[in-house]
Amino acid sequence: MALDRYVITGKQRLEGRIRVSGAKNSSLPLLAATVLAEGTSTLLGIPELVDITHMIEVLKHLGCRVVRQDKAMHINAGGLEACEVDEGLMRQMRASNLILGPLLARYGRVKISRPGGCAIGSRPMDQHIKGLQLLGVKVKEKHGYIEAWTDHLQGADVYLDVPSVGATENIMMAAVLAKGITVLRNAAREPEIVDLQNLLNKMGAKVRGAGMDVLRIDGVERLHPAEHTVIPDRIEAGTHMIAAVMTEGDVVIENIVPEHLEPVIAKIRQAGAHVTLLDDSVRVQQWGRIRGVDLKTMPYPGFPTDMQPQFMAMLSCVEGTSIITETIFENRFQHVDELRRMGAQITVEGRTSVIRGVETLEGAFVEASDLRAGAALFLAALAAEDVTVLEKIDYIDRGYENLEQKYRQLGAKILRIHQEG
Ligand code: EPZ
pLDDT digits (tens, 9 = 90+) for 97-111: 999 999 999 999 999
Expressed in angstroms, the distance from the first to the final Cα of the chain is 6
pLDDT band at 2 (very low <50, low <70, confident <90, very high): low
CA distances from 395 to 57, 86, 364, 386 (A): 18, 22, 19, 23
Nearest C-alpha to atom 18 of ligand 1 is from which residue? Answer: 164
Is 0.85 surpassed by the pTM of this model? yes
> pLDDT tens across 113-130, in order?
988 667 888 889 999 999
**CA–CA dist 153, 156 (Å, integer):** 9
- Report, as an integer, the average pLDDT of 77-97: 86
Burial class (CB in 10 A: 0-12, 13-18, 19+), 165: buried
Tell me, rounded to whole angstroms, the distance of Cα 236 from its chain centroid: 9
Residue 195 phi/psi, 5-degree rounding, is -65, -40
Reported as a pLDDT band with limits 50, 70 and 90, residue 421 is low
Shortest-distance Cα residue to atom 14 of ligand 1: 25
Banded model confidence at residue 70, pLDDT cuts 50, 70, 90: confident
Which parts of 176-217 fold into alpha helices (H)? 191-202
Q: Which pLDDT band holds residue 71 (cuts at 50, 70, 90)? A: confident
| CA gap 397, 380 in Å, rounded | 17
Q: Ligand 1 centroid vs 405 CA: distance in angstroms? A: 29
CA atoms of 182 and 179, how far apart (whole Å): 9
- 74 pLDDT above the threshold of 80: yes
Please state the atom number of ligand 1 nearest to the C-alpha of residue 166: 19
Supply the residue whose CA is at minimum distance from atom 1 of ligand 1: 165
Three-state secondary structure of 74-130 = EEECCCCCCCEECHHHHHHCHHHHHHHHHHHHHHCEEEEECCCCECCECCCCHHHHH
Q: Which of 27, 97, 100, 165 to mutate to test the pocket of ligand 1 (most atoms within 8 A of CB)?
A: 165
- Cα separation, 318 vs 271, in Å, equals 9
Protein residue with least CA distance to atom 22, ligand 1: 306
Residues within 6 Å of ligand 1 by CB: 24-25, 28, 95, 121, 123-128, 162, 164-167, 188, 305-306, 328-329, 371-372, 399
- Output the CA 338–ligand 1 centroid distance in Å: 24
User: Is 64 labeled as catalytic in the residue annotation?
Assistant: no
Lowest-pLDDT range, 67-81, 191-205, 379-393? 67-81
Burial of 359 (0-12, 13-18, 19+ CB in 10 A): exposed
Which region holds residue 136: left if phi is over 0, alpha if psi is between -120 and 50, else beta?
left
pLDDT in tens, 233-252: 999 999 999 999 999 999 99
Burial of 81 (0-12, 13-18, 19+ CB in 10 A): exposed
Cα of 209 vs centre of ligand 1, distance in Å, is 20
**Chain centre distance of CA 124:** 17
Strands (E) located in 269-331: 274-277, 281-285, 295-296, 321-325
Region 300-313 average pLDDT? 98
Tell me how far CA of residue 169 lies from CA of 29, 196, 415, in angstroms. Answer: 7, 8, 38
Ligand 1 atom nearest to 127, measured from its CA: 40
